[in-house]
Amino acid sequence: MNIFLIGMPGSGKTTVARHLAKAKNLTYIDLDGMIEKDAKMFIEDIFEKYGEQTFRSLETEALKRLPEDGAVIACGGGIVTVKSNQDLMKGLTIYLDTDIDVIRERLKTDYVRPLLKQKSLETLYDERFLKYQDFADLIVSNQQSVEETVKTIIVLLEKRGVR
């Protein structure tokens, strides 16, 4: 079974996915990294040159090419904006629910995300919040350390019989 991590930009998907994959001895896949490798362009450049719609199409195509089992996948923050992506995410989808103030603080030291050049973090959050919940099989708070979040996820997986 694959485990998909979804959430806002800066919610910790990539970091938690890496640690979770290591803890569960699964393959780690960064969906945005996969798209960049295939397109031979950074995400920001894809957005600037071709726009969000093209990026979303590339994202959907990348989902179709994922292995069917044995991976922890860090999805891009906007994966939930294309409803049909939900059907392609076979496995367990975990929404990392992270306070917007925590996200804002994390993003201060990160590169400027393409959509955050056009919209405020609050607007993006408002547009996506219910979509994250709709996609999610589990909702996990990511307000604590990475280690604590991973421990919480592992306990929830074990309760569901996922080894």
Which has the closest alpha carbon to 64: 22, 35, 27?
35
Give residue-wise pLDDT tens across range 14-64: 999 999 999 999 999 999 999 999 999 999 899 899 998 999 999 999 999
Confidence bin at 113 (pLDDT 50/70/90): low
The CA–CA distances, whole Å, from 121 to 16, 116, 142 equal 21, 6, 17
Class of domain 2-152: alpha beta
Identify the sign of the CA torsion 30, 106, 56, 52: negative
Q: Is the pLDDT of residue 78 over 70?
A: yes
pLDDT, average across residues 89-113: 84
- pTM, whole model, 2 decimals? 0.92
- Rounded Cα distance between 61 and 76, Å, is 13
